[in-house]
């Protein structure tokens, strides 16, 4: 949401325990015809709020999980941040190739003064992931950029080994391709494949284009929270409901709580009619209370509750186990009991049989 109130406590705790805090400003482009947030002025305001709040940080990352920001906006944003932040601040850009402009965005970021970019290695590069290391090395040929002194021959060998290691694993076709619809309905790479796999398993993958198109209205009426976990999942769930049950007939819990204010302040006010529907369907009132304060009132999120839960399940209440159980709930408990299920698929008749219906 880029709500700075949500960054204060975590930033303080990270620094307190001697860790490096990379504070993040999340980016995306809005669907065509939408305005009011996610321009350079918006990111400058968020960055100034972070600085004014005195949140301790060691580096700054601009994260575009949907890969929808235009190269020009990236250039102007990094240029703005370079002027606003102390001289030696490490600035990084993180984006995805989902919309097909990641290399252009990284080039724009480097030209504007960014210090770091995130890359990936074949066969898990491109598409919904980051651009490939080799692709980026080729893109910067003739430029005076140091990408860490990477040895092309070693990377070629490394990627060959990685391809061999992953040859038996199923990569959904949509995971490795560019989607021209994404700039109009920002869907992060990680969320895209998780949701298409769910639809593939339920033989409704043919509905995916409709759901992606429906996201445009969902983003617009939801207050322009950045499409990155968990907000991206809220958007998808609501768009899915709008397609499967009819527009706004069923408000998804996460989306509804977001527009009602339970996770913090959205960049712009959500649509009033959607807020009303969410309040009625979820039996919750809109709130302006800080998300941290709301969470503190929830006993199920307390250390006492989690310790008792672990003891009940016969699991040692160590700090690590408490973290896993508190963060992952039932799935965390199952993991700690050795009952967790690995959802990584190999190429098999099962993977083929769950493909989209024809």
**Averaged pLDDT, 214-243:** 94
Residue pLDDT, tens place only, 250-297: 999 999 999 999 999 999 999 999 999 999 999 999 999 999 999 999
Of 36-40, 190-194, 248-252, 306-310, give the lowest mean pLDDT range: 190-194
pLDDT at 342: 82
| pLDDT confidence of residue 299 | 94
3-class SS of residue 26: strand
- Nearest 5°: the CA angle 64, 18, 318 is 95
Q: Say whether domain 5-282 belongs to CATH 3.10.450.350.
A: no
**Contact status, residue 279 vs residue 260, Cβ threshold 8 Å:** yes
Q: Which tokens go with 43?
A: 């990111």
| Strand order across the 90-95 sheet | 22-26, 59-64, 90-95, 116-117
| pTM for the whole structure | 0.91
- Measure CA 218 to chain center: 17
Higher pLDDT, 125 or 189: 125
* Region(s) of the chain under CATH 3.20.20.70: 5-282
Q: What average pLDDT does the segment 298-307 reach?
A: 95
pLDDT of residue 190: 75
Confidence label for 355 from pLDDT (cuts 50, 70 and 90): very low
| Under 8 Å between Cβ of 58 and 22 | yes
């Amino acid at each position: 949401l880029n709500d700075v109130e949500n960054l204060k406590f975590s930033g303080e705790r990270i620094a307190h325990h001697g860790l490096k805090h990379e504070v993040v400003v999340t980016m995306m482009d809005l669907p065509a015809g939408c305005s009011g947030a996610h321009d350079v002025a918006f990111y400058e305001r968020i960055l100034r709020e972070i600085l004014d709040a005195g949140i301790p940080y060691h580096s700054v990352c601009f994260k575009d999980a949907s890969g929808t920001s235009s190269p020009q906006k990236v250039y102007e944003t990094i240029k703005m941040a370079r002027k606003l932040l102390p001289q030696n601040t490490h600035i990084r850009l993180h984006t995805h190739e989902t919309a097909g402009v990641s290399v252009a965005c990284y080039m724009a970021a480097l030209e504007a003064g960014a210090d770091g970019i995130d890359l990936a290695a074949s066969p898990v590069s491109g598409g919904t992931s980051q651009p490939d290391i080799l692709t980026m090395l080729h893109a910067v040929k003739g430029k005076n950029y140091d990408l860490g002194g990477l040895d092309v021959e070693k990377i070629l060998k490394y990627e060959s080994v990685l391809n061999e290691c992953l040859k038996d694993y199923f990569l959904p076709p949509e995971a490795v391709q560019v989607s021209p619809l994404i700039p109009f309905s920002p869907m992060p790479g990680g969320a895209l494949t998780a949701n298409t796999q769910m639809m593939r398993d339920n033989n409704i993958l043919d509905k995916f284009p409709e759901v992606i198109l429906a996201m445009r209205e969902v983003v617009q009426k939801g207050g322009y929270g950045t499409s990155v976990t968990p907000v991206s999942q809220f958007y998808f769930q609501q768009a899915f409901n709008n397609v499967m049950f009819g527009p706004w007939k069923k408000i998804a819990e996460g989306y509804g709580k977001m527009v009602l204010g339970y996770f913090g302040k959205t960049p712009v006010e959500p649509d009033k009619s959607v807020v009303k529907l969410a309040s009625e369907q979820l039996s919750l009132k809109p709130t302006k209370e800080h998300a941290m304060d709301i969470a503190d009132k929830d006993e199920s999120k307390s250390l006492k509750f989690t310790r008792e839960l672990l003891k009940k399940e016969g699991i040692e209440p160590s700090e690590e186990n408490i973290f896993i159980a508190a963060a992952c709930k039932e799935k965390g408990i199952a993991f700690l009991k050795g009952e967790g299920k690995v959802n990584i698929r190999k190429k098999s008749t099962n993977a083929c049989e769950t493909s989209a219906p024809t």
